[in-house]
Amino acid sequence: MNNQSNTSTAPPLSRTSALLLKFLGSMNLAITLLVALSIAAIIGTVLQQNQPYTDYIIKFGPFWFEVFKQIGLYDVYSSAWFLFILFFLVLSTSTCIYRNAPNMLHEMREYRQNIQLKTLENYLNTNSWLLTQPIEDIQHVVQKILPHNGYSARLKDDGSYVLISGMKGGASRLGYILTHLAIVLICIGGLMDGNAILKAREMLGQVVPETKNIAASDVPQISRLGINNQSFRGSVSIPEGRQTDVLFLNYKDGYLVQELPFSVEVKDFRIEHYESGQPKSFESDLVVYDDRLNQPLEKTISVNHPLIYDGYSIYQASFSDGGSKLEMLAWPLMGVNKQPQKVTTKVGDEFQMNISNEPWILESSNFRLFNINPSENPDKQFENSGPSVQFKMRNKMGEAKEYLNYMVPVERDGAYYYLSGVRASPAEEFRYLYLPVDDKGGLGRFMAYLQALGDEQLLQKIVAEQNFMGSNLPTKETAELNEAMVNVVGLFLKNGMSGVLEQVEKNAPADKLEEVSGLYVRVLQQMLGAVYVDVLIKEGVDVSNVGVDEEKAEFFDAAAAAIGAMTRYGSPVYFQLSSFVHHQASGLQIAKAPGKNLVYPGCAMLILGVFLMFYAPQQRLWAWIEQTDEGVKLVLAGHAIRNKLDFSKQFKKIQAQFERVLNG
């Protein structure tokens, strides 16, 4: 990419190839390619790459999705046109090297000893002296001062004159060659490690990505890559105690299975935390089994400390649940006199349940040992809310809501609650249900209360006992009223407070709406309170003297709020995580990148070349010594292609040295 040398030393070529060479090696092409590469690169950062195809369809609609897919915008960096640009960049840079390197290498050793006096006198940096010293002395001075300033010098004695040519910074030419060669090496190495070859194989129909979610062993041969595949980068999640000899490469809207010539076992996976709760390290104890090894290779890897084995690099990339065993209590949220059912399942498994004669499927998707959240406590930045389990409950229609239940009660304003988050789709945030914890630290009282509210017989008994409206009403009307009160509770249980108010709006005359709804709320409050007291008495709490203390009143408020909110909960049971066996999976990334054997030396050459080019500029000095009638004529002249301002300063300095030595 250097246009200063027109005298090519390349062998003569035909006119067309000469033109082609000129085009390929032209600066304009090079700059165009650099710009094109930049623009392509920008596109790839603006549009998120390699997302699931459905995301793109949602974003662009079916028409533009297809258009963008065709021009490869979802994977710009391995699209044909991007590779085409890179290919031309390599070609253009190689041509530049081919055209200029011979000249440059020649220049590095060329002292320009055929230069004419006129040329020297015409240079910007030139000075001449008329001296009385003998010519040998002047020659000696020149030959000392030039090396002293870093110039290597060559002498030419023509007979009529002596020319000493000095040069320094020849390495800057080497810098040019190194940098451009480096670009070629890096690009070729990068292409080797990219998925261009895979793409070509896919185009030839040798490889088809698998899109279904099936076990690795069931993936057909056409979606498998053998151990002879030289470059790839894939990932695999291995539960503790298990091993794998394949990994998965995400490819387009599916994946490919890459086979390995060895198998890797994850013996143990560990997360360490800082005192503040943030993760400090992720580590996996690996064992590599290979027939070529005398004994299995054991090594602990962590982030920033991969294992390199047989050209394969094994990295700690992520972690997930590896099928933790969960034991949960399923508390029925409907019906009377029901006991919690014990459920044993595993993360990743589906568990069939029959609840109130309806089939349900419990799909546990994740277990977390720690939940580090920002703390509201000003002294602590983070807080650990303990283990949690995430799952879906799927009904017979196939619809499911997702839940996030915490194992340990969390504190809020001095009281403790079991938290259960619910959402209808992954796009939503979890909305939390707060179930109050009783004196024994469990859910017993809350569940007893919930069931009591659903027990019509009990409600009727309580209504009769309480005689809220006074005893002066006729029996028939009392019965009707009592019936209505029981119904309000049922309504509340079914549709929450808003359900009760809706009912009022439907039945009450408009002018008395406020009065009637006030009455309903009061009646409901009284009923809820009376049932609560009943539950407390059954529990054995003495309420005769002091009534209900503050803590139990708070419990009552929280329980009523939770029951009111439960209408939107969507699951017929509440799962309380009672015990677990934590089982993690380590996410490994395994890569083979033979291209780095070109890329890394290329990088070293690039750094060396850039520094040589900028900080070892080529500079030339000549001293022409000629005997004339008036004395010895000395012409000192200098020339530099780059950093001319600096060179002028340097020339002045050298000129002054001569001045001091010869005329001082």
Going from the C-alpha of 397 to that of each of 16, 400, 410, 460, 555, the distances in angstroms are 72, 9, 34, 36, 36
| Binding segment toward other proteins, per CB under 8 A, in 12-20, 58-66, 257-265, 302-310 | 302-310
Q: Out of 68, 77, 370, 430, point to the residue binding other proteins (CB under 8 A).
A: 77
Nearer to other proteins, 566 or 632 (CB): 632
Nearer to other proteins, 78 or 487 (CB): 78
Residue 576: strand pairing partners: 329
Q: Out of 20, 114, 274, 502, point to the residue binding other proteins (CB under 8 A).
A: 274
Nearer to other proteins, 222 or 303 (CB): 303
Is residue 132 within 8 A of residue 632, CB to CB? The reply is: yes
Question: Does residue 80 touch other proteins according to CB under 8 A?
Answer: no
Question: Does residue 340 touch other proteins according to CB under 8 A?
Answer: no
Smallest gap from Cβ 147 to other proteins, in A, equals: 10
- Radius of gyration, alpha carbons of the chain: 42
Nearer to other proteins, 99 or 401 (CB): 99
Two tokens at 306?
Answer: 């991969």
Question: Does residue 221 touch other proteins according to CB under 8 A?
Answer: no
Closest among 364, 361, 342 to 352, alpha carbons compared: 361
| Binding segment toward other proteins, per CB under 8 A, in 36-44, 323-331, 470-478, 541-549 | 36-44
Question: Does residue 21 touch other proteins according to CB under 8 A?
Answer: no
**550-565 vs 444-453: helix axis angle to the nearest 10?**
60
Binding mask 601-620 for other proteins (x = CB under 8 A): --x--xx--xx--xx-----
Binding mask 463-502 for other proteins (x = CB under 8 A): ----------------------------------------
310: left (phi over 0), alpha (psi -120 to 50) or beta: left
Two tokens at 125?
Answer: 């940096």
Question: Does residue 282 touch other proteins according to CB under 8 A?
Answer: yes
| Binding segment toward other proteins, per CB under 8 A, in 13-21, 518-526, 561-569, 594-602 | 594-602
Nearer to other proteins, 59 or 144 (CB): 144
Smallest gap from Cβ 144 to other proteins, in A, equals: 6
Closest among 489, 483, 490, 521 to 504, alpha carbons compared: 521
| Binding segment toward other proteins, per CB under 8 A, in 299-307, 418-426, 452-460, 549-557 | 299-307
Is residue 209 within 8 A of residue 175, CB to CB? The reply is: no
C-alpha count within 13 angstroms, C-beta hemisphere, residue 74 = 21
Smallest gap from Cβ 194 to other proteins, in A, equals: 9
Going from the C-alpha of 523 to that of each of 21, 283, 484, 516, 519, the distances in angstroms are 95, 60, 10, 10, 6
Question: Does residue 250 touch other proteins according to CB under 8 A?
Answer: no
Is residue 68 within 8 A of residue 60, CB to CB? The reply is: yes
**Can you tell me the distance from the alpha carbon of 85 to that of 196, in angstroms, rounded to the nearest whole number?**
13
Smallest gap from Cβ 41 to other proteins, in A, equals: 5
Question: Does residue 181 touch other proteins according to CB under 8 A?
Answer: no
Smallest gap from Cβ 643 to other proteins, in A, equals: 8
Nearer to other proteins, 266 or 562 (CB): 266
Two tokens at 99?
Answer: 């055209």
Kind plus residue range of the DSSP H or E element containing 236? strand 232-239
Closest among 18, 17, 59 to 6, alpha carbons compared: 18
Smallest gap from Cβ 277 to other proteins, in A, equals: 10
Is residue 248 within 8 A of residue 236, CB to CB? The reply is: yes
Amino acid at 180: H
Binding mask 126-165 for other proteins (x = CB under 8 A): -------xx--x--xx--xx--xx----------------
Instruction: Give the count of beta carbons closer than 10 Å to the beta carbon of residue 142.
Output: 25
Binding mask 227-246 for other proteins (x = CB under 8 A): ------x-------------
136: Cα separation from own chain's centroid: 72
Q: Out of 459, 593, 621, 636, point to the residue binding other proteins (CB under 8 A).
A: 593
Smallest gap from Cβ 349 to other proteins, in A, equals: 30
Q: Out of 10, 13, 67, 303, point to the residue binding other proteins (CB under 8 A).
A: 303
Question: Does residue 306 touch other proteins according to CB under 8 A?
Answer: yes
Q: Out of 8, 21, 22, 37, point to the residue binding other proteins (CB under 8 A).
A: 37
State the DSSP code for 5.
Answer: -
State the DSSP code for 339.
Answer: P
Of the chain, the end-to-end C-alpha distance in Å amounts to: 47
78: left (phi over 0), alpha (psi -120 to 50) or beta: alpha
Question: Does residue 1 touch other proteins according to CB under 8 A?
Answer: yes
Smallest gap from Cβ 557 to other proteins, in A, equals: 35
Residue numbers 563-592 binding other proteins by CB under 8 A = 589, 591
Q: Out of 199, 401, 596, 620, point to the residue binding other proteins (CB under 8 A).
A: 596
Is residue 153 within 8 A of residue 162, CB to CB? The reply is: no
Q: Out of 14, 16, 45, 544, point to the residue binding other proteins (CB under 8 A).
A: 45
Smallest gap from Cβ 12 to other proteins, in A, equals: 25
28: left (phi over 0), alpha (psi -120 to 50) or beta: alpha
Residue numbers 514-533 binding other proteins by CB under 8 A = none
Question: Does residue 378 touch other proteins according to CB under 8 A?
Answer: no
Amino acid at 285: D
**475-507 vs 513-539: helix axis angle to the nearest 10?**
120
505: Cα separation from own chain's centroid: 53
| Strand intervals (E) in 101-160 | 125-131, 152-157
Nearer to other proteins, 68 or 468 (CB): 68
Two tokens at 336?
Answer: 């009377």
State the DSSP code for 180.
Answer: H
Pairing of strands 431-436, 415-423: antiparallel
Nearer to other proteins, 285 or 349 (CB): 285
Is residue 77 within 8 A of residue 10, CB to CB? The reply is: no
Smallest gap from Cβ 35 to other proteins, in A, equals: 7
Query: Which residues 6+ apart lie within 8 Å of 493 measured at CB?
Result: 453, 454, 563
Smallest gap from Cβ 287 to other proteins, in A, equals: 20
Smallest gap from Cβ 233 to other proteins, in A, equals: 6
**Can you tell me the distance from the alpha carbon of 468 to that of 462, in angstroms, rounded to the nearest whole number?**
10
Question: Does residue 382 touch other proteins according to CB under 8 A?
Answer: no
Summarize as ranges the residues that interact with other proteins (CB under 8 A). 1-4, 27, 30-31, 34-35, 37-38, 41-42, 44-46, 48-49, 77, 133-134, 137, 140-141, 144-145, 148-149, 190, 193, 233, 274-276, 278-282, 302-306, 313, 315, 317, 589, 591, 593, 596, 599-600, 603, 606-607, 610-611, 614-615, 642-643, 645-646, 657, 660-662, 664
